Structure 1
Amino acid sequence: MGTIRVGTASWTDKTLLASGWYPAGADTPEKRLAHYAKNFPVVEVDATYYGPPSEQTTRLWAQRTPPGFTFNIKAFSLLTGHPTRVSALYKDLRPETTKKNVYPQDLPPKAYEQVWSRFLAALDPLAEAGKLGALLFQFPPWFGIRRSNRDFLLEVVDRCKPLRPVFEFRNASWFEGANRDETLDFLRAHELPYVAVDMPQGHKSSVPPVMAATADLAVVRFHGHSDKWTSKDIYEKFGYLYSRAELAEWAPKLRALADEAKNTHVLMNNCCADFAQRNAATLIDLLGDAAVPAPAG
């Protein structure tokens, strides 16, 4: 069996800070990250989706965590084709426009290339410290199965080398009928890690929980089952606390996935109050020896 690292998709969320999960003494960003790293071996940074990180910030993350700790980084929205706030772009690359949001095609080609290179370069301190796990490319609901999108996955791999991108789809067409095997076969043929999800079903963005390893790295993200999944309020959207019984059903599935992959990352993305942290701790307990412990500080 390969390794299983369990963590959450945030350590700085305002509702987490207000929940009491952090001890009173963890009253600075440095102390909170250190406390998180005492409890979990991996974290997913979602803030990088909304705005590219600076190299100074990633260097601090590397310095403030013990050896063996892993950061997964969510790709900046522009790089996955999502609408991106003009104000989130690097100042010297912002196009002259009255639009609040832009897409890749709204930038000159040279500016688009610069966004890619600067985003990836900012991750160098984590990579050099051996603490960079995967780059999460979560695609928008309109990114369906077609040749041009499969080609884009390969383009992302080439752009990110030697870093490791992983791919999460939000369009069910990738797994409808015969497309399921076609998708998994394509990913395996190119050794592209796939992100399995647990999420509400019955929505345009819903993808079934297909548990499969398509490379030596597998990733599973738990989004919860809120009945307000379409809400624009993220705390309504992700405000779901899994029961121990629900997670107990997942434990054998995760062990089976780890039998297929060398490394498996499991991230709780139900980030509302301390739901994700509580559920991650429960899942680690259920997995027992299969779960990698938090690194010694």
Structure 2
Amino acid sequence: MRIGTQGWNYDAWVGPFYPSGTRVGDFLSMYARAFRTVEVDSTFYAIPPAKTVRGWAERTPADFSFALKLPQEITHERRLRGDDAVSAMQLFFDRARELGPKLGPVLVQLGPDFGPAELPALVQFLPRLPDDVPVAIEFRQRGWLTDGVLALLAEHRVAVALTDARWVPRRQMLALAERPTADFAYVRWMGPNRDIVDYSRIQVDRTRELEAWAAALRALAGRLDRVWGYVNNHFAGHSPSSARDLQRMLGQRPVQPDELGDQLGLF
């Protein structure tokens, strides 16, 4: 089970997480000393240059993994349809493979207006996904979560992203954790809203929610090959702290911020 955060490039983390004086260019290298995986948000907005992707790989240790979001051009603008969407997807996966063995799962994040009536687009899209990269899909309407759709995803070995957020009740997501459609799980802790603007400290006690998820993840770990999980700053205010809490609940040893301070001289 690999637990990390959604992104690493936050100035507000300097002090509470990154040692004081850490340069922006060293954020990723320092982050990778605490966590073994990260979800990259920037790929949602544009396909990254190959040089950028190789730079991520070069600044992280051998056992690190990146989760990448499929670009919104494919999911939101082209809505999974057409030859242009397929071409963009092929280019994206080619760039993603620049990570080599550090490439983890790809997240297909559908828009909140992409409803079950667009099932034909999903049916045509799934067979075009590559076989060599694990893919998870995030639905933002409850109507998608039917036996038929789960069977379709299982046919293509695509996971349902288990997301703790406002659009699907937590109890339904925890129930879905018992019905995996792939040999891995992809979990996202988003929070109920985006009111939090200070990312330097925990502002909401999410202990009960995390304990429920930790129990679900322990059960999943006995059935699946891999579990990836990523915490957003909006979940409780400071995602590195929430991720460490999850690690403790899962029996993992978190790396504390004061331990990172001992490494600053290496930069």
Give me the TM-score of the superposition, normalised by structure 2.
Answer: 0.81
Asked if residue 154 in structure 1 is aligned to residue 126 in structure 2, the reply is yes
Q: Paired residues, what number?
A: 247
Counterparts of 2:88 and 2:152, CA distance in 1: 28
Report what 2:109 is aligned to.
Answer: 138
Q: Higher relative CO (CA 8 A, sep ≥ 6), structure 1 or 2?
A: 1
Aligned 1:1-297 pairs, distance under 5 A: 4-17=1-14, 20-29=16-25, 31-80=26-75, 82=76, 103-104=77-78, 112-126=85-99, 128=100, 130-146=101-117, 147-155=119-127, 158-175=128-145, 179=146, 181-200=147-166, 205-206=167-168, 208-209=172-173, 210-211=176-177, 212-225=179-192, 229=193, 235=197, 241-271=204-234, 275-289=238-252
Counterparts of 1:113 and 1:185, CA distance in 2: 23
Q: Residue type matched to 2:144 in 1? A: W
Distance change in 2, residues 1:113/1:213 (3 Å):
closer
How far does the alpha carbon of each residue in 1:237-257 deviate from its partner, in whole angstroms, 9 at most, with x for none?
xx9644333312221111112
Give me the TM-score of the superposition, normalised by structure 1.
Answer: 0.73
Query: What SS is found at the alignment partner of 1:223?
Result: strand
Q: Does the Cα contact within 8 Å between 1:224 and 1:241 map onto a contact in 2?
A: no
Counterparts of 1:118 and 1:264, CA distance in 2: 26
Distance change in 2, residues 1:224/1:273 (3 Å):
closer
Moved more, 139-148 or 109-118: 109-118
How far does the alpha carbon of each residue in 1:254-288 deviate from its partner, in whole angstroms, 9 at most, with x for none?
11122221101111123589611110011001110
Q: Residue type matched to 1:20 in 2? A: P
Moved more, 135-144 or 59-68: 135-144
Query: What SS is found at the alignment partner of 2:136?
Result: strand
Structure 1 runs of 4+ aligned residues shifted over 6 Å read 291-294
Counterparts of 2:230 and 2:203, CA distance in 1: 14
**Structure 1 segments unaligned to the other structure (5+ residues):** 83-102
Distance change in 2, residues 1:21/1:253 (3 Å):
same
Q: Does the Cα contact within 8 Å between 1:16 and 1:272 map onto a contact in 2?
A: no
Percent identical: 30
1:189 Cα deviation after fit = 2.9
Counterparts of 1:123 and 1:43, CA distance in 2: 14
Q: Does the Cα contact within 8 Å between 2:106 and 2:136 map onto a contact in 1?
A: yes
Query: What SS is found at the alignment partner of 2:251?
Result: helix
Q: Residue type matched to 2:41 in 1? A: D
1:199 Cα deviation after fit = 1.2
1:114 Cα deviation after fit = 4.2
Q: Residue type matched to 1:259 in 2? A: G
Q: Residue type matched to 2:183 in 1? A: D
CA RMSD of aligned residues (A): 3.0
